[in-house]
Each structure stands twice: as C-alpha cells, then as structure tokens.
Amino acid sequence: MSALGMAAVLTGCGLSGGSDDVTLRLVAADYGDSGANSSQKYWDGLVEAYEKKHPGVTVDVTVHSWNDVDAKVKEMVDAGKAPDMAQIGSYADYAAAGKLYKVSDLLSIPVEADFVPQLANAGEVRGVGYGMPFASSTRLLFYNKTLFAKAGIQAPTTWAELAEDAKALKRDGVAYPYALPLGPEEAQAETLQWMLSGGGGYTQTASAYSLDSAENVKTFDWLRDDLVGKGLTGPVAPGKLNRATAFAAFAAGDVGMLNGHPSLMKAAAAKGVKFGMVPMPGAEGPSKVSMGVADWMTAFRQNGHAEEVGDFLDFVYDEKNVLAFSREYDLLPVTGSASLTMGAAPQDADLKPFLDELPLSETYPVGRTSWAKVSADIKQQIGRAVAPGGDPAAVLGELQTAATTLDVGVGG
C-alpha cells in the first residue's frame, strides 16, 4: 500500500455529446482489500451523484492497485496522454516539471482552507500547493494486552520502559518482543517514527535533509544497543523484516509491541488478538510528534478544464464524501470539518486515537523531488545501522551525503 491507496484511470480529455459537454478522466489507487470494498465502487457512487447535478460533465474513473497506479500514471504522462486528475502516492516530480495545476487555481477558497494544515503544507513545493491531500494516517504503538498481562507489565511511555517491557516479554517466550521492520518494504516509515521520537527527523530545517543529525544518530545507537543488540526484536534481522510480515505476526499473537496504522486494528481483531494503542514512547516520555502519511490528488494541466476539474474536486472534498471514504477504509479525514465530525462521533471511536495524533504529525518530505530516491536508499540501507557491529553514524552519514547530492542535482 503506497502511503495509503486508491485508483482511477483517465485517458485524455474529450468532448461527449454537445459542444459544451466535457469528459474528465481520473486515475486513482485502490484502498480496498477485496472486490466487495474496491475503491472503484466508492468512485462509481460518487461520480453518479455528481453527474446527476452536472449533466454537462462526465467523469470516467479507473482504479488500479497501489502496486501499479503510480507507474500507470507515469506511462500516460510520458505518452503525452496525461489524465485530468490522478490520485497517487507522490506529486513533486510532476509539479517541478510544470505539469500540474496549482491547488489555488482549482478549489474554492472554503474547500482549500479546510485541509488539515500539516497535510496542506506537505502538498507544497517551494511554498506553492500542488498536491491535495486525499487520505491520511498516523501511527501508534500497538501492544498485545494478553501478553502484557501475562508478563505483568504496562504499556510503555519511554524508551527505557519499552526496553524493560521487551525483556519481560522475551522471558515469557514471545517471539517478537518488539517488532522492528526496517526491511525494504516500508523501512522509511519505521525509521521516521523512531527519529521523531528521539527529537530528530528527516528534515529538521526547511532547506535541507538532516538524516545524520546528532538526535538521529543517538536514536539508532539506542536501537542497536538496547533493543536489537539485546535480542529483543525477534528472530528476523530488522533489516530483513518487512512491515507486512510484522503486522501478520502481530495478528497471529507472536508480537508484543510494534508501530501500526489503523488497518492493523481490523486484522488483529479478526484473529481475536486483544490489543491496546498508545502514543509512541520517546526518550524521556511520550513522543511529542507522530509520523503522518498522506496520499495525494493531483490535476494535470495538459487537457485544460480547470473550472470543471475544480468543481468536481470541490464535490470530492465535501465533508460527507470525505467521511464516507475515511470510514470505508479506516483512514483519517484530510479536512478539518470531517475531522471534527469524526472526533465527536461514537461510531468512529476506534479511529479517534489516530485522529488525535494528526495535528502533531510530521509527514515525509514529499514536496522534495529528491524524496523518492532518498526513500528508496533508506529502505535498502537503514537496516545496516542496527545490525551487529553496525555504525549508525556511518550509515546515516552515507544516506545524508547521497540525499544532499540528489538535492543539488534536482534542485530540492
């Protein structure tokens, strides 16, 4: 799953029917896990409702899996057949190439102003918004209540408590006292969560990466020495453990603790695992900043129709539609109005802990065109930092050098 997921395909933009009729084509990613809840169904219902009120506009939507959607859009753009809209995992390359509309050229002022500020800011390239947040998520520390009760321990609030809990779980024979997925699937997520809990991050200033900051080095020194080095992260080396494997192990009752997003709730509950969720522990107390993830809606300039695209997207971001999507896929709303409604609704109580973290969250530096390559490097390299004999300062230094070189090459 990209950052989150959803899909719909558009192929060029043309006229259908009268001279004033317009067809808009959208490519999106699929957030569903079966045909029964495919995002195609969500979009079909949304488009039907829109077209009833806008007889001159047709919206064609095709949904692709998260494994394919970004590549499909790239193929279309490279072939000179950009969709009108694409709901995908990144936007910065297209924005830097001048291919996208500015958000302010599309949305009405009330709709644009309703985006959650942290997410709206993450959609900017050099202070100008090009990516519209479409879905979001945060992370919490999940823990197995049954295993914790058996070990006589409480949910941790600090790194030291987390390590002590992991020791108790190990004594009880728990396979993964703390699951640390730094494998190539999604290591950039676990890495950022830990960096933030140690007071660091990927970009501690607006102008440059800070991968090898003193805070980040200290964090990974602790992980190497106090968790991995003491055998508290399970039988699979963190650099080879993928998130999906860690999640499956938690749902199977084999993990004491791990960082998770909302979809883990359903998977764990389906297997009968009793779990709790708390903010990520920090060096001295609960982490003040959580990791946030967002997927993006973009609009390409190639076919024009800015007015029609903007009107349709105003409808997409209507509160009731944002809530319907978020509830269907256990994701967080990207607008303030929908967030307020969800926060007060009893039916959304299970998502509220994640929602509470959103105002405190920090996202990947997706506005930097170098991020895709930097992220790929982190996925491949960060596991070495916590391996036996690993050197966090050296590994983070290599990643920083590569990121800085990329920034110079692409202009950020």
Q: Which of 39-43, 104-108, 360-364, 380-384 has the lowest mean pLDDT?
A: 360-364
Regarding whether 309 and 191 lie in a shared domain, the answer is: no
CA 74/CA 267 separation, integer angstroms: 32
Label residue 33 by pLDDT band (50, 70, 90). Answer: confident
What pLDDT does residue 211 have? 97
What pLDDT does residue 409 have? 54
More confident residue, 59 or 126: 59
Regarding whether 260 and 213 lie in a shared domain, the answer is: yes
Start-end of H helices in 116-178:
117-122, 145-151, 159-171
Q: Which of 53, 61, 8 is nearest to 315 (CA)?
A: 53
Q: Write out pLDDT tens, residues 257-303.
A: 999 999 899 899 999 999 999 999 999 999 989 999 999 999 999 99
Whether the pLDDT of residue 318 is over 80: the answer is yes
Label residue 90 by pLDDT band (50, 70, 90). Answer: confident
- For residue 16, tell me if it sits in a domain: no
- For residue 11, tell me if it sits in a domain: no
Which residue carries 């609704």 as its tokens? 345
- In this structure, what CATH number is given to the domain that contains residue 111? 3.40.190.10
Per-residue H/E/C for 62-124: EEECCCCHHHHHHHHHHCCCCCCEEEECCCHHHHHCCCECCHHHCCCHHHHHCECHHHHHHCE
Regarding whether 195 and 124 lie in a shared domain, the answer is: no
Regarding whether 271 and 312 lie in a shared domain, the answer is: no
274 and 146 Cβ atoms separated by less than 8 Å: yes
Regarding whether 145 and 133 lie in a shared domain, the answer is: no
Q: Write out pLDDT tens, residues 109-165.
A: 999 999 999 899 999 988 899 999 999 999 999 999 999 999 999 999 999 999 999
Regarding whether 227 and 121 lie in a shared domain, the answer is: no
pTM to 2 decimals? 0.86
Regarding whether 115 and 261 lie in a shared domain, the answer is: no
Q: Give the number of domains in the chain.
A: 2
CA 277/CA 260 separation, integer angstroms: 9
- For residue 95, tell me if it sits in a domain: yes
Regarding whether 406 and 269 lie in a shared domain, the answer is: yes
CA 367/CA 370 separation, integer angstroms: 9
Regarding whether 372 and 227 lie in a shared domain, the answer is: yes
- For residue 275, tell me if it sits in a domain: yes
Domain with 323 in it: 22-137+293-362
